[in-house]
Amino acid sequence: MTEQVSKQFAEKFSGKPLIARSPGRVNIIGEHTDYNDGFVLPAAIDKAVYVAVAKRDDDIIKLYASNFNEAFETAISRIQPSQQWHTYILGIVDQLLKNGHPISGFNLVIDGDVPAGAGLSSSAAVECAVVFALNELFNLELHKMQMVKLAQQAEHAYAGVQCGIMDMFASMFGKKDHAIKLDCRSLDYEYIPLQLEGYKLVLFNSNVKHSLASSEYNVRRQQCEAGIALIQPHHPQVKKLRDANMQMLDDYVKPADELLYRRCKYMVEEIERLTTACDDLKHGNLTSLGKKMFATHEGLSNDYEVSCKELDFLAAAVKNNPAVLGARMMGGGFGGCTINIVKEEAIDELSATLYKNYKTAMGMDLTTYVVQTDDGTAILE
């Protein structure tokens, strides 16, 4: 992929580019918890975005996306958000300028193999690759956590998704053979070895593009805040759902609003579940971890309501399969992938059977990715 992106750069532009790579991510457990100041357990994967970039002598930005075979050009002073692929790149430029980091024009080629709309954070991978490359190119001396926050702001401002910090963090800080337990309040993190001993992480892509995700995602965020607003008058120390417990929900949210109650209940349960799931992972108790993943799916589907019939089908289809320790929908929801812990030798057969059954039931093709964990954002050349 590095060679491919350099070659494309040479075809479109001149000069020797700098090349950065930033991976997609999985999340083992802890979904929608990041913007509630809870914990998450993501890992970077061996699917990544690559950018090749070099300075220009003027204030023009010229971009080329290999996956779309499409070029885009703008003056720095004229950048604006759009619904297209370049919004993630320009969103980074916008944040750099807003935060007082002067940059001039550049040429950039982008390529990669993180499927878009599959819940693997292709947009965060783009943002992290671009901010990392521009930081190096223009000697901005930003450190990784600053770049993570800047990428998150770019997503808010230019993609319109009020996302939490998990995706950018995982892409930037990933470490091969490890998951990362991140405390989304303090931003303290701990690398936990991911020893799957004969099992693998398998993603089943429903191929439902999570188009509802951005609007409904923002609604879920608001619902969590509405839940807090009901609790806070009685417990002023509760700033986020991380600080709430079931008793508080029963006392103040349930009587006021049944829907908000279900949203908040999932959240309080998930934040608790993640902590014990991390202990399972540390103790090598994958069976117990897997059970919690199924429980997370139930919560996301019934209480938080961010699943869809295709994802529910995929989670249910493996539930009683002894070769599958755990499965659940992953990421923002409304489409994308399920994440599964599957016994290595059962993967091929499971994938073939599921492909057939999914096609019959949902009329759609299923795509299987067997993923490995990988390192986070880096300059390659």
Whether 325 and 346 have beta carbons less than 8 Å apart is answered as no
Which distant-in-sequence residues (6+ apart) come within 8 Å of 197 by Cβ?
A: 284, 286
Q: How far is the CB of 155 from ligand GLA (least distance, A)?
A: 7
Q: Answer yes or no: are the C-beta atoms of 220 and 16 closer than 8 Å.
A: no
Closest CA to 26 of 333, 331, 361, 334: 331
Choose the binding region for ligand GLA from 31-39, 230-238, 246-254, 366-374 (rule: CB under 6 A): 31-39
Q: Under the criterion CB under 6 A, does residue 303 sit at the interface with ligand GLA?
A: no
Other C-beta atoms lying within 10 Å of the C-beta of residue 322:
7
Q: Count interface residues toward ligand GLA (CB under 6 A).
A: 11
CB 121 within 8 A of CB 152: no
When the beta carbons of 5 and 337 are compared against ligand GLA, the nearer one is: 337
Any contact of residue 34 with ligand GLA (CB under 6 A)? Answer: yes
In the bound state with ligand GLA, the residue whose beta carbon lies nearer, of 31 and 280, is 31
Catalytic residue set: 167
Residue 244 CB, shortest distance to ligand GLA, in Å, is 18
Do the Cβ atoms of 39 and 97 come closer than 8 Å? Answer: no
Residue whose pair of structure tokens reads 């930081």 in the numeric block: 135
Residue 163 Cβ vs ligand GLA, minimum distance, rounded to whole Å = 3
Q: Is residue 111 close enough to count as binding ligand GLA by CB under 6 A?
A: no
CB of 94 to ligand GLA, least distance (A): 18
The interface with ligand GLA within residues 312-341 (CB under 6 A) comprises 331-332
Under rule CB under 6 A, residue 24 binds ligand GLA: no
- N residues, the chain: 381
Name the residue nearer to ligand GLA (CB basis): 230 or 274: 274
Radius of gyration of the chain (CA): 21
166 or 192, CB closer to ligand GLA? 166
5 vs 166, beta carbon nearer ligand GLA: 166
Among residues 330, 33, 23, 373, which one has the least CA distance to residue 203?
330
In the set 31, 111, 127, 280, which binds ligand GLA (CB under 6 A)? Answer: 31
Nearest partner of 76 among 52, 57, 56, 93, judged by Cα: 93
Q: What is the closest distance, in whole angstroms, from the C-beta atom of residue 170 to ligand GLA in the complex? A: 9
Which residue, 163 or 311, has its beta carbon nearer to ligand GLA? 163
- For CA atoms 145, 146, 147, 153, give the dihedral sign: positive
Q: Between vectors from CA 43 to CA 302 and to CA 114, what angle results, nearest 5°?
A: 85
Per the structure block, which two tokens stand in for 230? 């009901």
Distance CA 54, CA 136 (A): 11
Work out how close the CB of 291 gets to ligand GLA at its nearest, in angstroms, rounded to a whole number: 20
**167 binding ligand GLA? (CB under 6 A):** yes
Q: Give the tokens for residue 236.
A: 């002023």
For residues 179 to 208, the per-residue mask of contacts with ligand GLA, x marking binding by CB under 6 A and - elsewhere, is ------------------------------
Q: Which residues bind ligand GLA (CB under 6 A)?
A: 31-32, 34-35, 121, 163-164, 166-167, 331-332
